[in-house]
Structures are given as structure tokens and as C-alpha cells.
Amino acid sequence: MAAEVGSFNVIFFILCYTMRYNAMQTKSLFPEQMLCNEVLHNKESILYRLHNLEKEVQYELRISYPATTPSEFLIKLLDDEDHSPPSKRRLLNTEKISFVIDKGYNMFAQVTAVRTGHPNSLDSLNNPVVYSIVVERLYVGLTWGAWKLGMITIFAVTLTLKLILPNIITFMEQEIISLQKQNR
């Protein structure tokens, strides 16, 4: 009798756990395709299925939201086998999580929005949180956009040092010479 009750509890727990994720709204998310103006209410969760991810490649899942809506986003990566926590960091109004696909292709990201701060009225807690979400591939720990920005910066600095700075130095030398002539 006790064994039957124990097995019933295990089956009940498994059913409740799977129903919790099945009842949650699910959306598809593809690498390099940003979903803008997504909406979650306070303490509400959504499940994103991550498609077209390659094995042994590092990815970054990033959520950005307006700073005028004080919120915290909890990101939890789920797959079929491994539930190890990936590295996570928080930057102002951006949540980031980096991960590598090791085994299976069935990856999900559970996103939960939690309002923070003290509202002027409790009704403002009912207002939704608007956010954008994207999965980007990382190249040596940086997204392609960060690499492009770095290359543009290096180009601008090189251009400044090669073309503009010599002209400024020549102009300053001529001004110094003309000031010295005036003082004589």
C-alpha cells in the first residue's frame, strides 16, 4: 500500500511538472532574429523554443527592456538531459546568458518578468513589461555586431592618426612659428 502511494506521488509530480510547461505560452526563437515588443506581465513566464542552433557553438541569449520599467528578467535554459546553469550577467537594462549546445538540439529558454522597485500605485504592477529578445552566435566571446563596432573604431582611429593628426601638427607648428615672429 505504501509503495502504491509513493509511486502515485511520483507520477502526480511528473504530471504536474510537465503540465506546468505545457500550459505556458510557447514561441519560436531563431538565431540572429530579434523579437521586438514582446510583452509579459508581472511574474508571468513564457517559453521560447530555440531553433537552428549548432552543436559546440557558443550563443548568447539577450533580453533588453526600457529602463523606465524597473524589472528583472529570470532566464532559465532547459533541455532534455542537462540542466546545468550557464553563465549569466546583468547590465543595466539588459539580461544576458551565454551557453554552448553540447548534446541535444531541443533547447528552451524560460523567461519570467518580475517587476522591481516601489510603484506609486499598485495598479502600475498590472502594466505589462515590454522587451526585446535575441539569440546571437558568439565569435571568440563577442557577437558579430561587437566585432564590427571594434573594426569601425580601429579604422576611425587609424584614419585620424594618418590623415588628420599630421595636418593638425603642421598647423600648430605654423602657429608657433608665427607667434615667435610676432614676439621678435
Tell me: the pLDDT tens digits for 121-178? 777 777 888 999 999 988 888 888 889 999 999 999 998 888 888 889 999 999 999 9
For the chain, give the mean pLDDT. Answer: 79
**How do residues 29-55 score in pLDDT, each as one tens digit?**
999 999 999 999 888 999 999 988 888
The model carries a pTM of 0.64
Pairing of strands 107-115, 94-100: unpaired
**Residue 160 burial (10 A CB sphere; 0-12, 13-18, 19+):** exposed
- How far apart are alpha carbons 161 and 164 in whole angstroms? 6
* DSSP secondary structure, 85-149, as one string: PPEEEEETTEEEEEEE--S-S-EEEEEEEEE-S--SSGGGGGSPEEEEEEEEEEETTEEHHHHHH
Report the pLDDT value the prediction gives residue 152, as an integer from 0 to 100.
Answer: 97
Contact between 21 and 92 (Cβ < 8 Å): no
Instruction: Band the pLDDT of 13: cuts 50, 70, 90.
Output: very low
Least confident of 14-18, 48-52, 101-105: 14-18
Beta-carbon contacts of 100 under 8 Å, excluding residues fewer than 6 positions away, are: 56, 57, 58, 59, 86
Count CB-CB contacts under 10 A for residue 51. 13
Whether residue 9 has pLDDT greater than 70: no
